Every structure is written in C-alpha cells, then in structure tokens.
C-alpha cells in the first residue's frame, strides 16, 4: 500500500490569502483543488508537498456565467458542473461533453477545471512507485539523467492527458492567472494554448506562486462547429489514449478556417491550423483528408502504455469520425 506522506494544510478564504501563502518560498506550498491528481502523485513521491493550499474555500474561483460574447468559468468549477450546466451545453457543448468523459462520477465531483488544465504530465516511467522508478535509475523527471522514452533526448516528453485542454484551445479560450507582487494581487491573461511548454517537467507556464483563476470561452458564432473525441480502452475511469478537438469555420458549405488540436502526444497539445484547407467543400472526402493530415503530422510516443503505431492509426480514424460527426450535427454539438 502506498502511504501519503505528511504535509501541512492551509485553507485560505480569499485570493490574496491563497496567493500570499503560495508566494512564500519557504512553505513548499502547492495549490490543491480537487486533489484527484495531486494526491495520487504525492503518494507516488512524484510530487513533494510542504503545504497544500486548499482552493475550495477561496471566494471568486467557482461558478460560471455567460458574459456577453463569452462564458466565464471559475477555475474551481467542478467537471461535474461543466458536464451538466445548461449554459455550457447551450454555448460550448463540446466542453461539457469532454468534461463528462473524464474519469468517473466520483472523480468529476471533486475534480476542477483549473486542476484539469494544470494536470501533471503522465508517462509509463513516472507514474510508478518511487521504488520502481529508482530500480530503473530514475529519469529526467525523477532524479535521473536519462529519458527512457526518447533515449538521449534532452527534454521530458511526458504527455498532458487533460481532456478539457484540447477542446478549450479549439474554442480559443483565454485563461486568467493571478500572482502576488509587491503586496498585492497581480493579474494577467494569456491564450490557453500559450499556457503550455514542451518540457514535461515544467509544462505549465505559471510563475512560482501563480494561480489559474478563470477561463474565458468565446461563444462560437452560427458558422462555427467545435467537437471533441476521446478514445480510451474503457468508457469510464481511463485517462485518454487519444483526446482530440476540431474547430471548423464554414461559409457557403466550404471551409474558411479552423484548427485541429491533438492532446496526449507530449507535454502540450499540438495545434494544427486548417487555413491551408480553406475552400474545401465539406463532406466525406474532407473528413478523410483531415484524418490523413493528423496521421502525417502527429507521432504518438511510447510515453503512455499503449502501442504508439496503433495510436497513430487510431488518431486518423478518430479525426475522420470527429469531422463526419461535426458535419452531420447541429453547430458545436458533436462528440464521440
Ligand atoms: C483514476 C483517474 C482517472 C482519471 N482520468 C482522467 C481523464 O480521463 N481525463 C483527464 O483529463 N483527467 C483524468 N484524471 C486526472 C484528474 O482527475 C483530472 O484531470 C482533474 O480534473 C484534476 O483536477 P483536480 O481539481 O482534482 O486537480 P488537483 O489534483 O487538485 O491539482 C492538479 C494539479 O494542478 C494544480 N492546480 C490545481 N488547481 C490549480 C489552479 N487553479 N491554478 C494553478 N494550479 C492548480 C495542482 O497544484 C496540481 O499540480 C484522472 C484521475 C484519476 C485518479
Ligand atoms: S518522458 Fe522520459 S523523462 Fe519524461 S517522465 Fe517519461 S521517461 Fe521520464
């Protein structure tokens, strides 16, 4: 049995209180939202916890509402809420459906959007006990000097397995981040796609002590369709082996723009711009072309426990099905 190492817990009630705690370099403090990722990782010794700063009671981090042309979602909103909220299902249904495919009902009741976007990267060589890892001499992410996925590689390529990140990038979401500077709260915004880095040991571009506080999702117009597909061995509980989102911008039955966002390849989702396909008529041939494009430009790695070549073939199939589903469905309502 894996034991959870001892750590301190702080439960601030407001954002300045939380940021103040997180900014103290002596506390070894980390934000703990639902804890469904952080706690298992602490048990594995993959994450060291000095003080867990609970976000649950921090005012202003929860809830969601439509604000003009976008939907505002607090980082502390649970995935269960996202999966069922009428505003989400009406304006950005693919996000709700992606949230509904995460893990299990119990986990979705605890898990938050902020935690899903800041999820640690996963790899078959790191999601193991400390004993197992040390028998292998560790790796770049775990007190070692060699990557076992890309031998001789300079960086860690562990995969971001978030189901909501690809679909939110497809919607063009922007995240708000807050930190503690000169005794006060300092806020900044950035496109979600820019939150991620290609180093799996530090893949979330947050400065020490910064928190993701909310996400702004632009509501798609009537000619925009967004969908998400996930493939995992089991329909429930499993992390995705493929998590892919597609945005199609249409005019007069032809493509004018869009993007394909492929997750679970490496530390950040891969974004493929579809401008080069502008003018293509919509139909089965277009869907097949998108599938081929995904196959040609994406190379799944053996960083997660499934055959990488099969995942590449499967990705092409999932992308083709995703496009076909979007072309059949009413706007922004497609899903696997
Ligand atoms: C059995 C199992 C199955 C799972 N299946 C899936 C799946 O299918 N798809 C999927 O996407 N995920 C899956 N997960 C992972 C996880 O449950 C979810 O990603 C969940 O959304 C994480 O949210 P949380 O609030 O519990 O995060 P936490 O565990 O609280 O935090 C995760 C990380 O984010 C940081 N963090 C949390 N909130 C913030 C914030 N506001 N600002 C900055 N940093 C923050 C924490 O410090 C930590 O590093 C699974 C987990 C388990 C145990
Ligand atoms: S990708 Fe390489 S460095 Fe990163 S966790 Fe896996 S084995 Fe370690």
Boundaries of every domain in the chain: 1-54, 64-118+159-218, 224-330
- Tell me whether strands 242-251 and 51-54 are parallel, antiparallel or unpaired: unpaired
Q: What is the pLDDT of residue 144?
A: 94
Biggest alpha carbon–alpha carbon distance for the chain: 61
96/297 Cα distance (integer angstroms): 28
Task: Determine the topology of domain 64-118+159-218 in CATH.
Answer: 3.30.465
Q: Tell me: the pLDDT tens digits for 227-238?
A: 999 999 998 899
Q: Give residues (CB < 6 A) around ligand 2.
A: 123, 125-126, 139-141, 147-149, 156-158, 200, 303
Six-digit token string for 1:
């049995």
Q: What number of helices (H) and strands (E) belong to the chain? A: 11, 13
CA of 257 to the centre of ligand 1 (A): 32
235/80 Cα distance (integer angstroms): 16
Cα 300 off chain centre by: 17
pLDDT-derived band at 1 (thresholds 50, 70, 90) equals confident
pLDDT-derived band at 330 (thresholds 50, 70, 90) equals low
Q: What is the pLDDT of residue 210?
A: 97
Q: Which residue, by CA, sits nearest to atom 37 of ligand 1? A: 115
8/92 Cα distance (integer angstroms): 38
Angle CA 114–120–123, to nearest 5: 150
Q: What is the pLDDT of residue 235?
A: 85
CA of 305 to the centre of ligand 2 (A): 13
Q: Tell me: the pLDDT tens digits for 159-218?
A: 999 999 999 999 999 999 999 999 999 999 999 999 999 999 999 999 999 999 999 999
269/166 Cα distance (integer angstroms): 6
Q: Which residue has the tokens 């599938």?
A: 291
Six-digit token string for 21:
């705690």
Q: What is the pLDDT of residue 335?
A: 46
Six-digit token string for 128:
């193991």
Six-digit token string for 124:
């078959």
Q: Tell me: the pLDDT tens digits for 249-285?
A: 999 999 999 999 999 999 999 999 999 999 999 999 9
Name the nearest CA neighbour of 129 among 17, 41, 32, 26.
Answer: 41
Q: What is the pLDDT of residue 329?
A: 61
Q: Tell me: the pLDDT tens digits for 130-168?
A: 999 999 999 999 989 999 999 999 899 999 999 999 999
Name the nearest CA neighbour of 318 among 237, 233, 230, 258.
Answer: 230
- Asked whether 203 and 265 are in contact (CB, 8 A), the reply is no
**224-330 falls under which CATH superfamily?**
CO dehydrogenase flavoprotein, C-terminal domain (3.30.390.50)
CA of 107 to the centre of ligand 1 (A): 9
- Asked whether 121 and 157 are in contact (CB, 8 A), the reply is no
Q: What is the pLDDT of residue 305?
A: 86
Q: Tell me: the pLDDT tens digits for 51-90?
A: 999 999 999 999 999 999 999 999 999 999 999 999 999 9
Q: At what angle do helices 164-171 and 93-100 cross, to 10 degrees?
A: 170
Q: What is the pLDDT of residue 334?
A: 43
| Ligand 2 atom with the shortest distance to the CA of 148 | 7
Q: Which residue, by CA, sits nearest to atom 53 of ligand 1? A: 36
Mean pLDDT of the chain: 95
Query: Terminal CA-to-CA distance of the chain, rounded, Å?
Result: 36
Is it the case that residue 26 has pLDDT exceeding 60? Answer: yes
The DSSP letter of residue 10 is E
24/53 Cα distance (integer angstroms): 12
Q: Give residues (CB < 6 A) around ligand 1.
A: 30-38, 40, 55, 75, 79, 102-103, 107, 110-112, 114-116, 118-120, 161-163, 206, 211-212, 237, 239-240
| Ligand 1 atom with the shortest distance to the CA of 230 | 8
| Ligand 1 atom with the shortest distance to the CA of 38 | 29
Average pLDDT over residues 89-95: 98
Q: What is the pLDDT of residue 50?
A: 93
CA of 289 to the centre of ligand 1 (A): 34
Does domain 1-54 match CATH 3.30.43?
yes
**How far is CA 70 from each of CA 62, 65, 162, 216, rounded to the nearest angstrom?**
16, 9, 22, 6
- Asked whether 54 and 10 are in contact (CB, 8 A), the reply is yes
| Ligand 2 atom with the shortest distance to the CA of 155 | 3
DSSP 112-131: BHHHHHTPPPB-TTTSS-HH
Average pLDDT over residues 281-301: 97
């Amino acid at each position: 049995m894996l034991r959870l190492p001892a750590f301190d817990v702080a439960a601030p009630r407001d954002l300045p209180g939380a940021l103040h705690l997180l900014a103290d370099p002596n506390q070894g403090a980390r934000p703990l939202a639902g804890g469904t990722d952080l706690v298992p990782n602490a048990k594995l010794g993959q994450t060291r916890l000095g003080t867990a700063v609970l976000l649950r009671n921090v005012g202003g981090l929860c809830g969601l509402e439509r604000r003009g042309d976008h939907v505002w979602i607090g980082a502390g909103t649970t995935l269960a809420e996202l999966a069922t909220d009428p505003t989400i299902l009406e304006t950005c249904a693919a996000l709700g459906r992606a949230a509904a495919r995460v893990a299990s009902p119990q986990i979705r009741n605890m898990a938050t959007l902020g935690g899903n976007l800041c999820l640690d990267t996963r790899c078959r060589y790191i999601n193991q006990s400390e004993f197992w890892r040390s028998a292998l001499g560790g790796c770049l992410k775990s007190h070692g000097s060699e990557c076992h996925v890309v031998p001789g590689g300079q960086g860690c390529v562990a995969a971001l397995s978030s189901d909501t990140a690809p679909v939110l990038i497809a919607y063009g979401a922007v995240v708000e981040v807050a930190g503690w500077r000169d005794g006060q709260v300092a806020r900044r915004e950035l496109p979600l796609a820019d939150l991620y880095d290609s180093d799996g040991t530090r893949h979330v571009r947050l400065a020490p002590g910064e928190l993701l506080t909310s996400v702004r999702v632009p509501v798609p117009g009537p000619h925009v369709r967004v969908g998400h597909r996930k493939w995992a061995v089991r329909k429930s509980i499993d992390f995705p082996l493929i998590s892919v989102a597609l945005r199609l911008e249409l005019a007069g039955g032809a493509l004018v723009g869009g993007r394909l966002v492929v997750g679970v390849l490496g530390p950040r989702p891969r974004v493929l711009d579809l401008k080069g396909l502008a003018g293509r008529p919509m139909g089965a041939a277009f869907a097949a072309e998108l599938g081929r494009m995904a196959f040609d430009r994406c190379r799944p790695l053996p960083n997660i426990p499934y055959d990488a070549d099969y995942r590449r073939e499967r990705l092409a199939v999932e992308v083709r099905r995703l496009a076909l589903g979007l072309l059949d469905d009413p706007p922004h309502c497609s899903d696997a």
